[in-house]
Amino acid sequence: MSKVIKLGFLVYLTFIISHMWASTAAAQGGREVLVADVTGPVTPVMLSFIERAIEEADVRNAEALIIRLDTPGGSVDLTKEIIQVMIASDVPIVVYVWPPGGFAASAGTFITLAGHVAAMAPNTSIGAASPVNGSGGDIDETLRSKIENILIADITGLADRRGEKAIEWAKEAITEAKAANAKEALEIGVIDFIAEDLDDLLSQLDGFTVKVDSEEVTLKTGDAHISFFEATALEELLSIITHPTLALALITLGGLGILYEVIHPGTFVGGIIGVILLVIGAYGIGQLPVNYAGLALILLAFILFGAELFTPTFGTLTTLGVVSFIFGSLILFNTAEFAYQIPLPSILGIALSLAAIMGFGVRKLLQAMKFQPTTGQEGMLNAIGTVKVALDPQGSVFVWGERWQATSEDGETIEAGERVKVTQVDGMRLKVKKVAK
């Protein structure tokens, strides 16, 4: 036992020494820049991730935090919270619109301007922060003026240090949905750098002076090493769930699971799975600004699908349901806060899959309605039997291995040994008619 204790002590001591050595080596090895990738719509998950990244950069005494941003925008309220967190940071924050082909649209424009430094990769874009109504169109003039004035006040404050051209462009990004590519943004002073990659960005940042909490700080990133701040497994899962396309797919699968349970009651598997998927999908949609008209159209689509199953209209209600689903999906995430359209191929793929599944379900339902029962009294209809006691018009017949009291259908006399067919079941008595030979 004493040997085990000594061995454990040596292992622990070795760990402590190696940890101290690693910390000393890191401190002697130069400064650190923390990089956090922020992608997708603005959601509570994004807010939480940025808060944790800033806290981690502060704990590590990082030279700067680089937020690599690629977002279509999102909730105005959440964006304001993100901006407040960024402004309160003691660590310089560099917002880098990345990768090439990415963008900082709508709310992303505000987040970019809130950084102490703003940069963009080539072939990226920024802007288009104009408010729209729930269906993506223009809104009432009075309401639009109120919203625009608030947003203009916010974005002017963020762009103020960047000069008159930047302020004017920022205002037009709201009033005229103006956007700019990386080169244009640099020319008007909206951003500070265009960087090919992180190494290029660090090279340009070296010696650049920023104001953090009213104090000027000169960045020293020439010899800094890069560390990446990773999202937790839960944050990654929630980010996936809150993707608009996946949230719509989960809602769709959940609805189909519940419809399956309605058609085939008693198994509970389809219903349970459907409810689980529906709840997860609802959570994802609940994290995003939703156009309730689009949500209502999707709900109407499933009501029409359900009606088709119980009152088969040979595809009419299914067709109307598919049309309702497509229109609802197109405007589902097109709101004043968040102008995002699910890719049309994804919508059409889901809609066509729904149509195919509904067609298969209706076909099976019609087949079941036409299928002759094989058990119970209904199953005896059209069954063939043999007369045991002559029917005049009453007697008995032998059907399905049992003797039944029977009456001839037309009151005719049917002799014993004749073959008959059951035409009606009335309690324990049958009505039969003679089968032609």
Q: Active-site residue among 106, 125, 329, 408?
A: 106
Q: Active-site residue among 6, 146, 183, 211?
A: 146
Residues 6+ apart with CB under 8 A from 338: 41, 42, 72, 73, 74, 75, 106, 107, 288, 289
Instruction: Tell me whether the omega of the peptide bond preceding residue 41 falls within 30 degrees of 0, making it cis.
Output: no
Cα–Cα dist 87/83, whole Å? 6
Cα–Cα dist 335/135, whole Å? 6
Q: Is 211 among the catalytic positions?
A: no
Cα–Cα dist 136/142, whole Å? 17
What does DSSP say about strands 225-229 and 419-426: parallel, antiparallel, or unpaired?
unpaired
Q: How far is CA 74 from CA 66, 163, 211, 413, in A?
A: 21, 27, 28, 84
Which helix (H) or strand (E) segment holds residue 62: the answer is none
Cα–Cα dist 86/210, whole Å? 14
Classify residue 347 as exposed, middle or buried by CB count within 10 Å of its CB (0-12, 13-18, 19+): buried
Residues 6+ apart with CB under 8 A from 332: 244, 248, 285, 290, 291, 294, 295, 298, 342
- Per the CB < 8 A criterion, the answer to whether 302 and 262 are in contact is no
Q: Is 227 among the catalytic positions?
A: no
**How many contiguous H segments (helices) and E segments (strands) does the chain have?**
15, 16
What positions carry a catalytic annotation? 106, 146
